[in-house]
């Protein structure tokens, strides 16, 4: 069966989502999980855009053993040099060059004539080809380009050495019928098209990104660019999990295989959610918490009689396993390590030891520690940023008839710093006390809380987003006590702001 290549751009297009700023450890953790998921290409960043991106792409390319790692670059020698430097140590490096071809972009953004764009595209591909055999060329805003001009550009970049040509619907404007016809037009009018793989890259402004991508596949595309949980600029990109499960569940219709291990989808989705702090909607296809939940009696009865009455795929097929196996405070390190392995976490002894300490602390507070609790602990571990400030203790007085007052003790450079503050409710009071100690003032943009597991003793995960110097930073806190989750999330966010400030000053 013919294969569709899955090109994951969570770490590049996905990371462009406002409010997402992953540190190096988080990017690496996600890249490792994407490799486990079995994607064909990981676009790990835009090396010329920042030192952080360059370092992340370099590290990811060096570290991954099976997956092609790619970097994005503009059609400029300096960008291509930076990209090659970053990806060259990878097992199969790819350079991804983009240049816009639509009249709007050429006139207003690039301020170039079509002929100049054509020449720049060809020159950039030739330049990249000196270093790397695997070159992808993207005609940005391809869908709104003049088809005749686009055919010319694609023909010439293929002749110059491009091995993949990407056809983005950059602004999510296409409908499935139009996009399929557009890809077919490329198949029919670009004479050397059989020398390259056609790739689709669809944005979700009209909610059609997955439908458009699959329509492109039917028309002849053999690579789909997508992001985990569909994160990305504005309404996001095509969701990897929806594309992959669409191809898998409806293989009878599409007739293609792909290399993704669908059983890794749920874990990858959860990891992406916790690292990016972009919550998955409950009704999100495939990975939303309601995706396999049946509320109505008729449906429950049907599913019990035969799952396929109301389920077209099983939770197990995406690796969402309900285990009866619960650990508690009497469980030992051996049982804990075994459970981690069964859950698919491959950790070194040091990390297991650290996680085991956290597990014991949790087991003291919570009767039964479930698989989801354990996964949340591990994901939280990889979320850690440098702890410039660490929570030692906090106290709160609050009620419906009194002004809330909070006291906070934070450890900074081995010294305990204490402050108290009043606030409009307990959370406001704690955050103000932290602000007094840290001495930087951020604007709180968003605060959200959700239960990670079920039951009265469930762990509550708080996500905090703050604005500092025109950037949005987010952090998370996890505890069985929601006030503790809140203060941990706020400190985690502040630590990110400080790390970022330090990196910018370095």
Residues forming the site for ligand KIV (CB under 6 A) = 13, 98, 138, 140, 166, 168, 170, 201, 203
Which positions from 384 through 413 interact with Zn ion, judged by CB under 5 A? Answer: none
Is the backbone of residue 485 left (phi > 0), alpha (psi -120 to 50) or beta? Answer: alpha
Name which of 68 and 495 has its Cβ closer to ligand KIV: 68
Beta carbons within 8 Å of 349's beta carbon, 6+ residues apart: none
**Alpha-carbon distance values, 171 to 36, 168, 232, 341 (Å):** 31, 8, 12, 42
- CA pseudo-torsion sign 204, 205, 211, 216: negative
> What is the C-alpha separation between 447 and 388, in angstroms, rounded?
22
DSSP β-bridge partners for residue 164: 136, 197
Three-class SS state of 286: coil
State in angstroms the smallest separation of the CB of 29 from ligand KIV: 23
Question: Can you say how many angstroms the Cα of residue 121 is from the centroid of all Cα atoms in its chain?
Answer: 29
134 binds Zn ion (CB under 5 A): no
State in angstroms the smallest separation of the CB of 271 from ligand KIV: 22
Name which of 73 and 438 has its Cβ closer to ligand KIV: 73
Q: Dump the DSSP string for 135-181.
A: EEEEEETGGGS-HHHHHHHHHHHHHHT-SEEEEEETTS---HHHHHH
Name which of 173 and 254 has its Cβ closer to ligand KIV: 173
User: Closest by alpha carbon to 223, among 2, 1, 7?
Assistant: 7
Question: Can you say how many angstroms the Cα of residue 497 is from the centroid of all Cα atoms in its chain?
Answer: 20
33 binds, among Zn ion, ligand KIV, none (CB under 5 to 8 A by kind): none
204 binds, among Zn ion, ligand KIV, none (CB under 5 to 8 A by kind): none
Stretch that binds Zn ion, among 7-15, 25-33, 318-326, 413-421 (CB under 5 A): 7-15
Name which of 218 and 235 has its Cβ closer to Zn ion: 235
Which positions from 61 through 120 interact with Zn ion, judged by CB under 5 A? Answer: none
Stretch that binds Zn ion, among 9-17, 33-41, 278-286, 479-487 (CB under 5 A): 9-17
State in angstroms the smallest separation of the CB of 169 from Zn ion: 9
Q: Are 237 and 16 in contact (CB under 8 A)?
A: no
Name which of 13 and 373 has its Cβ closer to Zn ion: 13
Name which of 34 and 376 has its Cβ closer to ligand KIV: 34
Token duo for residue 474: 């987010």
**Alpha-carbon distance values, 260 to 4, 217, 486 (Å):** 10, 16, 36
Name which of 139 and 438 has its Cβ closer to ligand KIV: 139
Angle subtended at Cα 274 by Cα 268 and Cα 278, rounded to the nearest 5 degrees: 100
Stretch that binds Zn ion, among 6-14, 39-47, 253-261, 368-376 (CB under 5 A): 6-14
The correct pick among 6, 8, 12, 13 for binding Zn ion (CB under 5 A) is: 13
Tokens 């391809």, residue?
142
138 binds, among ligand KIV, Zn ion, none (CB under 5 to 8 A by kind): ligand KIV
480 binds, among ligand KIV, Zn ion, none (CB under 5 to 8 A by kind): none
Name which of 13 and 155 has its Cβ closer to ligand KIV: 13
In what helix (H) or strand (E) does residue 370 lie, and over which residues does it extend? Answer: none
Name which of 140 and 435 has its Cβ closer to ligand KIV: 140
> What is the C-alpha separation between 437 and 418, in angstroms, rounded?
7
Stretch that binds Zn ion, among 12-20, 40-48, 148-156, 398-406 (CB under 5 A): 12-20
Size of the site for Zn ion (CB under 5 A): 1
Name which of 114 and 307 has its Cβ closer to ligand KIV: 114
State in angstroms the smallest separation of the CB of 156 from ligand KIV: 18
319 binds, among Zn ion, ligand KIV, none (CB under 5 to 8 A by kind): none
98 binds, among Zn ion, ligand KIV, none (CB under 5 to 8 A by kind): ligand KIV
Per-residue HEC secondary structure of 475-504 comes to EEEEECCHHHHHHHHHHHHHHHHHHHHHHH
State in angstroms the smallest separation of the CB of 442 from ligand KIV: 30
Name which of 112 and 381 has its Cβ closer to ligand KIV: 112
User: Closest by alpha carbon to 74, among 109, 113, 28?
Assistant: 109
Q: Are 7 and 41 in contact (CB under 8 A)?
A: yes
Phi, psi torsion values for 5, nearest 5 degrees: -80, 135
140 binds, among ligand KIV, Zn ion, none (CB under 5 to 8 A by kind): ligand KIV
> What is the C-alpha separation between 301 and 55, in angstroms, rounded?
54
The residue whose Cβ lies closest to Zn ion is 13
Token duo for residue 301: 């009865």
Token duo for residue 341: 């392995």
Interface map 308-337 toward Zn ion (x if CB under 5 A)? ------------------------------
Stretch that binds Zn ion, among 11-19, 80-88, 263-271, 407-415 (CB under 5 A): 11-19
Residues that bind Zn ion (CB under 5 A): 13
């Amino acid at each position: 069966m013919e294969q569709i290549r899955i090109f994951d751009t969570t770490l590049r297009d996905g990371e462009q989502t406002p409010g997402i700023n992953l540190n190096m450890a988080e990017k690496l953790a996600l890249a490792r999980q994407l490799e486990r998921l079995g994607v064909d290409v990981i676009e790990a960043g835009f090396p010329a855009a920042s030192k952080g991106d360059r370092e992340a792409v370099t590290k990811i390319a060096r570290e991954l053993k099976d997956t092609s790692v790619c970097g994005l670059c503009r059609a400029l020698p300096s960008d291509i040099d930076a990209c090659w430097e970053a990806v060259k140590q990878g097992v199969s490096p790819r350079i991804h060059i983009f240049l816009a071809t639509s009249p709007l972009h050429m006139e207003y953004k690039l301020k170039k004539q079509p002929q100049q764009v054509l020449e720049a595209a060809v020159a950039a591909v030739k330049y990249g080809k000196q270093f790397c055999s695997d070159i992808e060329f993207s005609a940005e805003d391809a869908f709104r380009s003049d088809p005749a001009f686009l055919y010319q550009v694609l023909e010439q970049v293929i002749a110059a050495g491009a091995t993949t040509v990407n056809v983005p619907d950059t602004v999510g404007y296409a409908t499935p019928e139009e996009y399929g016809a557009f890809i077919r037009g490329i198949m029919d009018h670009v004479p050397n098209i059989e020398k390259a793989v056609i790739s689709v890259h669809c944005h979700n402004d009209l909610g059609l990104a997955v439908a458009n991508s699959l329509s492109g596949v039917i028309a002849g595309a053999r690579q789909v660019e997508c992001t985990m949980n569909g994160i990305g600029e504005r309404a996001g990109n095509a969701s990897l999990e929806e594309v992959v499960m669409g191809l898998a569940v409806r293989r009878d219709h599409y007739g293609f295989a792909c290399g993704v291990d669908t059983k890794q989808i749920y874990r990858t989705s959860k990891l992406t959610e916790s690292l990016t702090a972009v919550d998955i909607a409950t009704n999100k296809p495939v990975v939303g918490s309601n995706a396999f939940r049946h509320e109505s009696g008729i449906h429950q009865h049907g599913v019990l009689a035969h799952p396929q009455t109301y389920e077209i795929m099983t939770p197990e097929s995406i690796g969402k396993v309900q285990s009866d196996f619960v650990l508690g405070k009497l469980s030992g390190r051996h049982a804990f390590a075994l459970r981690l392995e069964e859950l698919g976490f491959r950790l070194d002894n040091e990390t297991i030891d650290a996680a085991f300490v956290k597990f014991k602390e949790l087991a003291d507070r919570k009767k039964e520690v479930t698989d989801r609790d354990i996964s949340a602990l591990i994901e939280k571990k990889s979320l850690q940023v440098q702890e410039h400030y660490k929570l030692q203790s906090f106290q709160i007085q609050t009620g419906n008839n009194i002004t809330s007052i909070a006291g906070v003790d934070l450890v900074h450079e081995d010294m305990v710093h204490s402050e108290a503050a009043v606030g409009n409710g307990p959370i406001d009071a704690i955050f103000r006390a932290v602000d007094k100690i840290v001495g930087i003032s951020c604007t709180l943009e968003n605060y959200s809380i959700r239960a990670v597991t079920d039951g009265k003793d469930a762990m509550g995960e708080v996500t905090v987003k703050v604005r500092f110097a025109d950037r949005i930073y987010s952090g998370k806190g996890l505890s069985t006590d929601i006030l503790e989750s809140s203060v941990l999330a706020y400190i985690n966010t502040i630590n990110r702001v400080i790390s970022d400030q330090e990196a910018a000053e370095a």
